[in-house]
Protein backbone atom coordinates (compact mmCIF):
# COMPACT_ATOMS: atom_id res chain seq x y z
CA UNK A 1 0.00 0.00 0.00
CA UNK A 2 1.03 3.60 -0.48
CA UNK A 3 0.44 5.96 2.44
CA UNK A 4 -0.17 9.53 1.29
CA UNK A 5 -0.26 12.35 3.84
CA UNK A 6 -1.64 15.84 3.21
CA UNK A 7 -0.52 18.27 5.89
CA UNK A 8 -2.08 21.67 6.46
CA UNK A 9 -3.62 24.24 8.74
CA UNK A 10 -7.25 24.97 9.61
CA UNK A 11 -8.31 28.58 10.14
CA UNK A 12 -11.99 28.52 9.22
CA UNK A 13 -15.05 26.38 8.53
CA UNK A 14 -16.38 25.94 5.02
CA UNK A 15 -19.45 28.02 4.12
CA UNK A 16 -20.63 25.09 1.97
CA UNK A 17 -20.83 22.54 4.80
CA UNK A 18 -19.89 22.31 8.50
CA UNK A 19 -16.40 20.98 7.76
CA UNK A 20 -12.95 22.53 8.24
CA UNK A 21 -11.05 24.02 5.30
CA UNK A 22 -7.50 22.63 5.23
CA UNK A 23 -4.89 24.92 3.73
CA UNK A 24 -2.29 22.49 2.41
CA UNK A 25 1.32 23.15 3.41
CA UNK A 26 2.98 19.91 2.23
CA UNK A 27 2.37 16.39 0.97
CA UNK A 28 4.39 13.27 1.79
CA UNK A 29 4.28 9.60 0.79
CA UNK A 30 5.50 6.50 2.63
CA UNK A 31 5.41 2.75 2.04
CA UNK A 32 2.37 1.38 3.89
CA UNK A 33 0.90 -2.00 4.75
CA UNK A 34 3.34 -4.86 4.22
CA UNK A 35 5.68 -2.36 2.55
CA UNK A 36 6.02 -0.63 5.92
CA UNK A 37 7.04 -3.95 7.46
CA UNK A 38 9.72 -4.33 4.79
CA UNK A 39 11.11 -0.84 5.32
CA UNK A 40 11.34 -1.47 9.07
CA UNK A 41 13.47 -4.52 8.26
CA UNK A 42 15.63 -2.66 5.76
CA UNK A 43 17.11 -0.39 8.43
CA UNK A 44 18.68 -3.49 10.01
CA UNK A 45 19.34 -5.80 7.05
CA UNK A 46 20.22 -5.31 3.40
CA UNK A 47 18.20 -8.40 2.45
CA UNK A 48 14.53 -7.46 2.77
CA UNK A 49 12.24 -8.63 -0.04
CA UNK A 50 8.63 -7.59 -0.62
CA UNK A 51 5.98 -9.69 -2.30
CA UNK A 52 2.48 -8.34 -2.85
CA UNK A 53 0.19 -7.04 -5.56
CA UNK A 54 0.24 -3.57 -7.12
CA UNK A 55 -1.38 -2.01 -10.16
CA UNK A 56 0.11 -0.45 -13.26
CA UNK A 57 -0.20 3.10 -12.03
CA UNK A 58 1.69 6.06 -10.59
CA UNK A 59 1.11 4.86 -7.01
CA UNK A 60 3.01 1.64 -7.80
CA UNK A 61 5.84 3.65 -9.30
CA UNK A 62 6.04 5.87 -6.24
CA UNK A 63 5.93 2.86 -3.93
CA UNK A 64 8.80 1.16 -5.78
CA UNK A 65 10.85 4.38 -5.74
CA UNK A 66 10.44 4.82 -2.00
CA UNK A 67 11.28 1.19 -1.27
CA UNK A 68 14.36 1.19 -3.50
CA UNK A 69 15.63 4.28 -1.68
CA UNK A 70 15.38 2.37 1.59
CA UNK A 71 16.99 -0.81 0.32
CA UNK A 72 13.93 -3.05 -0.11
CA UNK A 73 13.97 -5.45 -3.06
CA UNK A 74 10.61 -5.24 -4.87
CA UNK A 75 11.38 -7.75 -7.64
CA UNK A 76 8.95 -10.38 -6.21
CA UNK A 77 5.93 -8.04 -6.43
CA UNK A 78 3.04 -8.98 -8.71
CA UNK A 79 1.67 -6.40 -11.12
CA UNK A 80 -2.04 -6.42 -11.95
CA UNK A 81 -3.44 -4.94 -15.14
CA UNK A 82 -6.95 -4.68 -13.66
CA UNK A 83 -6.49 -3.65 -10.00
CA UNK A 84 -5.18 -0.33 -8.65
CA UNK A 85 -2.38 -0.05 -6.15
CA UNK A 86 -3.96 0.36 -2.72
CA UNK A 87 -3.43 3.96 -1.60
CA UNK A 88 -4.57 5.68 1.59
CA UNK A 89 -4.65 9.46 1.84
CA UNK A 90 -4.70 10.99 5.33
CA UNK A 91 -5.42 14.68 5.84
CA UNK A 92 -3.78 16.08 8.96
CA UNK A 93 -3.98 19.59 10.40
CA UNK A 94 -2.10 20.68 13.52
CA UNK A 95 -1.27 17.04 14.29
CA UNK A 96 -4.98 16.15 14.21
CA UNK A 97 -6.08 13.38 11.82
CA UNK A 98 -9.16 14.82 10.10
CA UNK A 99 -10.11 12.24 7.45
CA UNK A 100 -8.76 9.29 5.44
CA UNK A 101 -9.53 8.54 1.79
CA UNK A 102 -8.91 4.97 0.54
CA UNK A 103 -8.44 3.83 -3.05
CA UNK A 104 -8.65 0.04 -3.31
CA UNK A 105 -10.44 -2.86 -4.96
CA UNK A 106 -10.68 -6.11 -2.97
CA UNK A 107 -10.16 -9.18 -5.15
CA UNK A 108 -8.86 -12.61 -4.19
CA UNK A 109 -5.64 -13.99 -5.59
CA UNK A 110 -6.32 -15.91 -8.79
CA UNK A 111 -5.07 -19.44 -9.47
CA UNK A 112 -2.49 -18.10 -11.94
CA UNK A 113 -1.31 -15.48 -9.44
CA UNK A 114 -1.03 -18.16 -6.75
CA UNK A 115 1.15 -20.27 -9.02
CA UNK A 116 3.36 -17.26 -9.71
CA UNK A 117 3.65 -16.52 -5.97
CA UNK A 118 4.43 -20.15 -5.16
CA UNK A 119 7.14 -20.35 -7.80
CA UNK A 120 8.66 -17.12 -6.54
CA UNK A 121 8.72 -18.31 -2.92
CA UNK A 122 10.21 -21.67 -3.93
CA UNK A 123 13.01 -19.94 -5.82
CA UNK A 124 13.81 -17.56 -2.95
CA UNK A 125 13.56 -19.94 0.03
CA UNK A 126 17.20 -21.11 -0.02
CA UNK A 127 18.30 -17.49 0.50
CA UNK A 128 15.77 -16.61 3.21
CA UNK A 129 16.01 -16.87 7.00
CA UNK A 130 12.33 -16.20 7.56
CA UNK A 131 9.04 -15.09 6.05
CA UNK A 132 6.42 -12.67 7.34
CA UNK A 133 2.84 -13.12 6.17
CA UNK A 134 1.10 -9.78 6.63
CA UNK A 135 -2.65 -10.01 6.06
CA UNK A 136 -4.78 -6.88 5.70
CA UNK A 137 -7.80 -8.68 4.30
CA UNK A 138 -7.29 -7.24 0.81
CA UNK A 139 -7.53 -10.53 -1.11
CA UNK A 140 -3.86 -11.42 -1.58
CA UNK A 141 -3.73 -13.75 1.43
CA UNK A 142 -6.12 -16.69 0.92
CA UNK A 143 -6.29 -20.14 2.50
CA UNK A 144 -4.85 -21.63 -0.70
CA UNK A 145 -1.96 -19.15 -0.49
CA UNK A 146 -1.35 -19.94 3.19
CA UNK A 147 -1.44 -23.71 2.70
CA UNK A 148 0.93 -23.55 -0.26
CA UNK A 149 3.47 -21.14 1.25
CA UNK A 150 3.45 -22.61 4.76
CA UNK A 151 3.95 -26.05 3.25
CA UNK A 152 6.95 -24.81 1.28
CA UNK A 153 8.44 -23.01 4.28
CA UNK A 154 7.96 -25.98 6.60
CA UNK A 155 9.65 -28.33 4.13
CA UNK A 156 12.60 -25.91 3.99
CA UNK A 157 12.70 -25.49 7.79
CA UNK A 158 12.09 -21.74 7.65
CA UNK A 159 10.73 -19.42 10.33
CA UNK A 160 7.28 -18.01 9.48
CA UNK A 161 5.47 -15.33 11.45
CA UNK A 162 1.96 -14.08 10.75
CA UNK A 163 0.09 -10.82 11.32
CA UNK A 164 -3.54 -11.92 10.80
CA UNK A 165 -6.64 -10.01 9.72
CA UNK A 166 -9.86 -10.34 11.75
CA UNK A 167 -11.79 -9.94 8.48
CA UNK A 168 -10.11 -12.97 6.91
CA UNK A 169 -10.21 -15.92 9.33
CA UNK A 170 -7.73 -18.57 8.18
CA UNK A 171 -5.96 -21.64 9.52
CA UNK A 172 -2.30 -20.91 10.26
CA UNK A 173 -1.18 -24.49 10.88
CA UNK A 174 2.56 -24.71 10.22
CA UNK A 175 3.42 -21.12 11.16
CA UNK A 176 6.01 -20.47 13.87
CA UNK A 177 4.15 -17.59 15.55
CA UNK A 178 0.96 -15.59 14.98
CA UNK A 179 0.77 -11.97 16.24
CA UNK A 180 -2.76 -10.55 16.55
CA UNK A 181 -3.61 -7.41 18.46
CA UNK A 182 -6.11 -7.67 21.31
CA UNK A 183 -9.14 -6.89 19.13
CA UNK A 184 -8.08 -9.42 16.50
CA UNK A 185 -7.32 -12.09 19.10
CA UNK A 186 -10.72 -11.87 20.80
CA UNK A 187 -12.50 -11.76 17.43
CA UNK A 188 -10.63 -14.85 16.20
CA UNK A 189 -11.41 -16.74 19.40
CA UNK A 190 -15.08 -15.71 19.34
CA UNK A 191 -14.89 -14.42 22.90
CA UNK A 192 -16.30 -11.09 24.05
CA UNK A 193 -13.69 -8.74 25.47
CA UNK A 194 -14.87 -7.27 28.76
CA UNK A 195 -11.64 -5.31 29.30
CA UNK A 196 -11.11 -6.47 32.87
CA UNK A 197 -9.14 -3.79 34.79
CA UNK A 198 -5.84 -4.84 36.29
CA UNK A 199 -2.62 -6.52 35.16
CA UNK A 200 -2.84 -8.58 31.94
CA UNK A 201 -1.64 -11.72 33.75
CA UNK A 202 -4.78 -11.48 35.88
CA UNK A 203 -7.09 -10.97 32.88
CA UNK A 204 -8.90 -14.31 32.82
CA UNK A 205 -10.51 -13.81 29.43
CA UNK A 206 -7.24 -12.74 27.81
CA UNK A 207 -5.52 -15.85 29.18
CA UNK A 208 -8.38 -17.97 27.85
CA UNK A 209 -8.10 -16.38 24.41
CA UNK A 210 -4.35 -16.98 24.21
CA UNK A 211 -4.61 -20.65 25.12
CA UNK A 212 -7.53 -21.17 22.75
CA UNK A 213 -5.71 -19.60 19.80
CA UNK A 214 -2.69 -21.88 20.27
CA UNK A 215 -5.02 -24.82 19.60
CA UNK A 216 -7.31 -23.12 17.12
CA UNK A 217 -4.45 -21.97 14.89
CA UNK A 218 -2.35 -25.09 15.59
CA UNK A 219 0.81 -23.05 16.23
CA UNK A 220 3.46 -23.12 18.92
CA UNK A 221 3.41 -19.42 19.76
CA UNK A 222 0.88 -16.58 19.84
CA UNK A 223 1.90 -13.01 20.68
CA UNK A 224 -1.00 -10.67 21.51
CA UNK A 225 -0.19 -6.96 21.37
CA UNK A 226 -2.06 -4.98 24.02
CA UNK A 227 -1.43 -1.32 23.21
CA UNK A 228 -0.62 0.60 26.37
CA UNK A 229 -0.36 -2.69 28.28
CA UNK A 230 2.46 -4.04 26.13
CA UNK A 231 2.37 -7.62 24.85
CA UNK A 232 1.48 -11.12 26.06
CA UNK A 233 3.34 -14.17 24.74
CA UNK A 234 1.61 -17.55 24.82
CA UNK A 235 3.62 -20.72 24.18
CA UNK A 236 2.79 -24.39 24.44
CA UNK A 237 3.92 -25.97 27.73
CA UNK A 238 4.95 -22.54 29.13
CA UNK A 239 3.28 -19.99 31.36
CA UNK A 240 2.06 -16.79 29.62
CA UNK A 241 4.77 -14.13 29.52
CA UNK A 242 3.86 -10.43 29.82
CA UNK A 243 6.06 -7.67 28.36
CA UNK A 244 5.05 -4.21 29.64
CA UNK A 245 4.96 -1.29 27.21
CA UNK A 246 8.07 0.84 26.69
CA UNK A 247 6.30 3.75 24.99
CA UNK A 248 6.86 7.15 26.64
CA UNK A 249 4.70 9.38 24.45
CA UNK A 250 2.07 8.30 21.94
CA UNK A 251 1.47 10.54 18.92
CA UNK A 252 0.41 8.06 16.25
CA UNK A 253 -0.29 4.32 16.59
CA UNK A 254 -0.45 3.73 12.81
CA UNK A 255 2.23 1.24 11.81
CA UNK A 256 2.99 0.04 15.34
CA UNK A 257 1.87 -3.49 14.49
CA UNK A 258 4.05 -3.44 11.35
CA UNK A 259 7.06 -2.47 13.44
CA UNK A 260 6.32 -5.17 16.02
CA UNK A 261 6.12 -8.05 13.53
CA UNK A 262 9.24 -6.84 11.68
CA UNK A 263 11.46 -6.70 14.76
CA UNK A 264 9.98 -9.82 16.30
CA UNK A 265 10.77 -11.83 13.19
CA UNK A 266 14.21 -10.33 12.68
CA UNK A 267 15.19 -11.11 16.28
CA UNK A 268 13.91 -14.69 16.09
CA UNK A 269 15.64 -15.18 12.73
CA UNK A 270 19.03 -14.40 14.27
CA UNK A 271 18.44 -16.95 17.05
CA UNK A 272 16.92 -15.04 19.96
CA UNK A 273 14.21 -16.65 22.06
CA UNK A 274 10.59 -15.64 21.55
CA UNK A 275 10.69 -13.81 24.92
CA UNK A 276 13.76 -11.78 23.96
CA UNK A 277 12.41 -11.12 20.47
CA UNK A 278 9.11 -9.87 21.93
CA UNK A 279 11.00 -7.49 24.21
CA UNK A 280 12.86 -6.01 21.23
CA UNK A 281 9.63 -5.76 19.23
CA UNK A 282 7.95 -4.05 22.17
CA UNK A 283 10.72 -1.46 22.46
CA UNK A 284 10.68 -0.79 18.72
CA UNK A 285 6.91 -0.29 18.78
CA UNK A 286 7.29 2.06 21.74
CA UNK A 287 9.63 4.20 19.66
CA UNK A 288 7.50 4.32 16.52
CA UNK A 289 4.28 5.41 18.26
CA UNK A 290 6.17 8.52 19.36
CA UNK A 291 6.46 9.60 15.72
CA UNK A 292 3.84 11.11 13.45
CA UNK A 293 2.94 9.29 10.25
CA UNK A 294 4.10 5.94 8.94
CA UNK A 295 7.56 5.77 10.49
CA UNK A 296 10.36 3.29 11.04
CA UNK A 297 12.88 2.68 13.81
CA UNK A 298 16.59 3.26 13.28
CA UNK A 299 19.49 1.40 14.90
CA UNK A 300 20.62 4.23 17.17
CA UNK A 301 17.05 4.70 18.47
CA UNK A 302 16.69 1.04 19.39
CA UNK A 303 20.08 0.92 21.10
CA UNK A 304 19.23 4.10 23.02
CA UNK A 305 16.00 2.52 24.30
CA UNK A 306 18.01 -0.23 25.99
CA UNK A 307 20.53 2.23 27.42
CA UNK A 308 17.68 4.33 28.83
Which active-site residues does the annotation give?
258
Paired with 54 in beta bridges are: 79
Residues in the chain: 308
218's CB contacts (< 8 A; 6+ apart) are 171, 172, 173, 174
Give the list of residues 6+ apart from residue 245 with CB closer than 8 angstroms, or none.
Answer: 226, 227, 228, 229, 230, 282, 286
CA distances from 219 to 64, 104, 255 (A): 34, 32, 25
Sign of CA dihedral 88, 46, 161, 121: positive
The Cα-based distances of 162 to 57, 118, 150, 233 in angstroms read 29, 17, 11, 14
Amino acid sequence: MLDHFIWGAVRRISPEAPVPIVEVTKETTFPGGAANVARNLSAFTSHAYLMGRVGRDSAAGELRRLLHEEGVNTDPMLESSTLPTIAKTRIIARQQHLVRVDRETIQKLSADELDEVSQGVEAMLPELDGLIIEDYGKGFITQAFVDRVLGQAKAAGKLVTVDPSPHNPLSWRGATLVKPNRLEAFAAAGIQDQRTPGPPLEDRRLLEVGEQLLDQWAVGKVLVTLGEQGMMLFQRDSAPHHIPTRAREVYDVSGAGDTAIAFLTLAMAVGLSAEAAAEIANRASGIVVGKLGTARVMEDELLQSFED
